[in-house]
Structure 1
Amino acid sequence: MTKDDVRREVRGRLRALSVDERAAAEAEIARRVWEVPQVAGARVLMLYASMPGEVGTDAIAREAARRGITLVYPRCLEDRRLSLHVVDALDRLRPGRYGIREPNADTCPAHEVAAVDAALIPGLAWDRAGNRLGRGAGYYDRLLADPEWRGFRCGLFFSIQEFPAVPHDPWDARMQAIVTEAEIVSP
């Protein structure tokens, strides 16, 4: 299968999830993610504001704030790169490029890539080798390829997004853990 074939198939799988199935799975992922030692022990955690089809992270953000963890969110730049910004409350996220909620660069301070301890990464598909397939623009792969990047990479997915083998290229960043509603996979 090509990357486009996988994207097409997984979008169909995601559409088939009922609202109740999705809510139950997201609640279990939000609970289970704290079983990953690198996430639970992070002082600075990078999250994403979910797009349709992605695992929601607002409950994770609220728990991280309760634990005193500094949260950083990505902001899409015109050159298909991400900048990171500290977000102290979810209501500081506003629709930005592509309609994705993101921090406002004027009100949310920039944060250094090297100072992120762990990152929760979205995607469309995953496999047990840690390969992740995103939407195709390469934003996260460029961020994770930054020579300053030191953080632990954890993908958040629904179990129905698993494929036996996700097509990948040498520049595609692998995940060091995958959390689903059913399990934690450590490739």
Structure 2
Amino acid sequence: MADPMNESSEDSVAGEKAALRHRLIAARAAMDATERATAAEDLAGWMSVDVPFRLEADVTVCCYASVGTEPGTAQMLDALVDRGVTVLLPITPDGPPTALEWARYTGRHGLRTGRFSLSEPTGRRLSNAALDTADVALIPALAVDRRGVRLGRGAGYYDRSLVATGAELVAVVYDDEVLDDIPADEYDIAVSWALTPGDGFTRLG
């Protein structure tokens, strides 16, 4: 029999998350193009300044191609490739939410529009087991708190994908999206770092 108290608690967390997502999405939409462009340049700059991880030719980094009002990653991806690391980007499979697939990023010319209008690499698809080879995963988020709780869009693709990886997990957010506290569910995968345009890499937890 389901526990009514537990269901009530889960409903409360879901409601708090939904309200927080709404506020954060609205705040991103209110940013102007100059702010976003500056943030993207600053994120790329952190790939060569005070990086807390090795970024050499034998390193694999999972990242993503930003869309819409997300912190821009195009320049950051190119900066990673310039360092000689292998960069993998996610591909969203058809069907209900499940673990992501991946493919190697070879440059902006090698991207196409995939599911949910996301930019995806055109190369050979790899299963989510490709994350076993990753040393660092730079992942999208609407916000992250100082304990490492990450707030995503709510579909759960990343929580399903990251559950068994040993990679250093880094949430990429704007400066004011590092919060003191975010409501969490038991299945939320914690991250160890935040990457912001103004402060670079910040250790969490």
Residues 1:13 and 2:27 aligned together: yes
Corresponding residue of 1:185 = 202
Corresponding residue of 1:89 = 107
Alpha-carbon separation, structure 1, partners of 2:43 and 2:80: 14
Alpha-carbon separation, structure 1, partners of 2:55 and 2:105: 18
Which structure: larger Rg?
A: 2
Under a length normalisation based on structure 1, what TM-score does the superposition of the two structures give?
Answer: 0.90
Residues 1:50 and 2:66 aligned together: yes
* Higher-RCO chain (CA-CA 8 Å, sequence separation at least 6): 1
Identity among equivalent positions (%) equals 29
Give the deviation of 1:39 after TM superposition: 5.7
> Between Structure 1 and Structure 2, how many residues are aligned?
183
Task: Render the CA deviation track for 1:77-130: whole Å, top value 9, x for unaligned.
Answer: 1242201111222221111100001123xx335262210111111111111111
Amino acid at match of 1:176: S
1:165 to 181, 184, 197: 181
Alpha-carbon separation, structure 2, partners of 1:172 and 1:12: 23
Residues 1:36 and 2:51 aligned together: yes
Structure 1: which 5+ runs fail to align? none
Task: Render the CA deviation track for 1:17-67: whole Å, top value 9, x for unaligned.
Answer: 111111112211221244232263571111101121211111111111111
After superposing on structure 2, the runs of 4+ consecutive aligned residues of structure 1 that deviate more than 3 Å are 39-42
Matched position secondary structure for 1:60? helix
Residues 1:113 and 2:121 aligned together: no
CA-based RMSD: 1.8
Structure 2: which 5+ runs fail to align? 1-14
Give the deviation of 1:13 after TM superposition: 1.2
Under a length normalisation based on structure 2, what TM-score does the superposition of the two structures give?
Answer: 0.82
